Structure 1
């Protein structure tokens, strides 16, 4: 593995281990995470949750091959502290927000487990593919000790792809950071070939998963350690590691006045009339970036 420009933050790193038939993605969110989190005054448990989900969106978005394709992650419950978590990735652009009960969050003690936040919620992962306008969605229970564990279950249950995901988050400082690695086994060949005879207990996969699981949380968020260097620490004994830097990442809220005008145009005139304030303006609040858009209907 040779590198002339190493990857530290706010850019995806894609790689394959050809002899093991494994593909992977790594990411570390830095400035883009600060930008997204700054849109709302989230308490610490919610900041941590959204940071973790944004890493998952970036890692899974890195699996998309076509421009214009999008992955959307939604975690929802009827009675949990967190009512809705939504984030998506498209073309290097990330966005996300969390809707939650502030009073119940303020009462949280040391227990901020997934079950505490979501109760009996579910995780929906949707892939919208640009080339054929097809949509694929999988829904799994929000079970396990983190949203990462639930996301890992999604790939095992819905996609039937052996997958290991590890995420580390630190939002306790003025410069929050979140990072993760995704490993997947393509049983009958490397990336780009059809998957045949998928086995969750394949010896190749077991070997890679054991090594991948040794990564330490502090390594993932260490801003002085490039992703290439971290990858080499893990898999330096492999015969070959093929590395390809992916797209740079940015906050990509797609809200515009024109967009909201087009959305509102789909509503009947009587419903739009009910939305107007005393000045005849419809105020649209974008949950992703926390901006108000005055729309003259």
Structure 2
């Protein structure tokens, strides 16, 4: 395994396989891209950490898509939770995300509230859209686990019956004070994919138990340390394996993809009287993007009147 990673390793996802263990994996670390997303909002630290971990999960899962135009969306909703909505998505290396929450109720909690304290009776929806094949997959799992990572593991176990390890972590850089987040994703491949009989898949296969045990030792300090190349993290975990194949890295970036023309098209579908109610005294409709906080000002005169 040749190390070709940068000295300071940010905003990449690196895939790998361990053929003898019938395992595939991803490791990622977010830095500047994460900081740009968080900077668009004035979230308290608890929410920043939550969103950082969710974006890391989106990067891990989204980077497995083979369709360049494919999209991975994570959406967590609650019933009576302090966090009532969390949305993240990934498309061709671009990440975005936002959180809606009750600031007053959040202020009454401690510094490290549990996932249940934030979401109460909530659920996590994981959606894979692949336009090239016109396929859409969605799985929903309850947020009754201790972490988002465990919820993701439950998704793959329930929806696809694939044993999975997910490790997520976020912490502030000691020098810059900015958030850095990292994640590890491991899966025991369906046996049919490895040339074996899929019907004989086992959740307690010895080769998977070995990989699972190693992956579970990965800590936040390593995942969020930019001085450790991602390839080195893989080597630290699996250096005793006879072969580890490193795949091409996927660059990651903050890109909201909000578009003024698209917003105008959406507003044009509303009746003229409803658009008039949305507008201010100057005839301007202001639309805020929940993802990046960009503001779009659309004048009523921009809408073409329907043909007679």
**TM-score, normalised relative to structure 1:** 0.95
Greater mean alpha carbon deviation, residues 42-51 or residues 194-203:
194-203
Which residues of 2 match residues 1-297 of structure 1 at below 5 A?
A: 1-6=1-6, 8-171=9-172, 174-188=177-191, 196-297=199-300
Q: Secondary structure at the match of 2:237?
A: helix
- Kindly indicate whether the alpha-carbon contact (under 8 Å) linking 2:5 and 2:231 is maintained by their aligned counterparts in 1: no
**Preserved contact between residue 31 and residue 181 of structure 2 (Cα < 8 Å):** yes
Alpha carbons of 1:196 and 1:106: their partners in 2 closer, same or farther (altered >3 Å)?
same
Pairwise CA RMSD of aligned residues?
1.8
Is the 8 Å Cα contact of residues 67 and 131 (structure 2) preserved in structure 1?
Answer: yes
**Bigger mean CA offset, 157-166 vs 4-13:** 4-13
The alignment partner of 2:121 has SS state of: coil
Structure with higher Rg: it is 2
Residues 187 and 196 of structure 1 are in contact (CA less than 8 Å); yes or no, is this contact kept in structure 2? Answer: no
> What is the CA-CA distance between 1:267 and the residue it aligns to?
2.2
Q: 1:263 and 1:196 mapped to 2: Cα distance?
A: 47
Partner of 1:24, secondary structure, is: strand
Q: Distance in 1 between matches of 2:183 and 2:164?
A: 13
- Distance in 2, matches of 1:60 and 1:24, equals 10
> CA 1:89/1:50 → structure 2, altered by over 3 Å: closer, same or farther?
same
Q: Secondary structure at the match of 1:279?
A: coil
Q: Residues of 2 paired with 1:192 and 1:43: CA distance?
A: 49
TM-score by length of 2: 0.92
**Structure 1 residue 198: Cα displacement:** 3.0
User: Which whole-Å CA distance do the structure 2 matches of 1:45 and 1:152 have between them?
Assistant: 22
4+ aligned runs moved over 6 Å, structure 1: 191-194
Match of 2:306 in 1: none
**1:3 shift after superposition:** 2.6
Relative to structure 1, the CA distance from residue 161 to residue 220 in structure 2 (aligned partners, 3 Å threshold; closer, same or farther) is: same
Structure 1 runs not aligned, ≥5 long: none
State the 1:265 CA deviation: 2.1
Q: 8 Å contact 1:30–1:177 — kept in the other structure?
A: yes
Distance 1:260 1:267 in 2: 12
Deviation at 1:15, TM superposition (A): 0.5
Structure 2 gap ranges (5+): 301-308
Q: CA deviation at 1:191?
A: 7.4
Query: Residues of 2 paired with 1:16 and 1:236: CA distance?
Result: 13
C-alpha distance in structure 1 between counterparts of 2:94 and 2:112, whole Å = 32
CA distance 1:90–1:121, shift in 2 (3 Å): same
User: In structure 1, how many angstroms separate the alpha carbons of the residues matched to 2:52 and 2:262?
Assistant: 27
Aligned residues: 297
Bigger CA drift: 270-279 or 217-226?
270-279
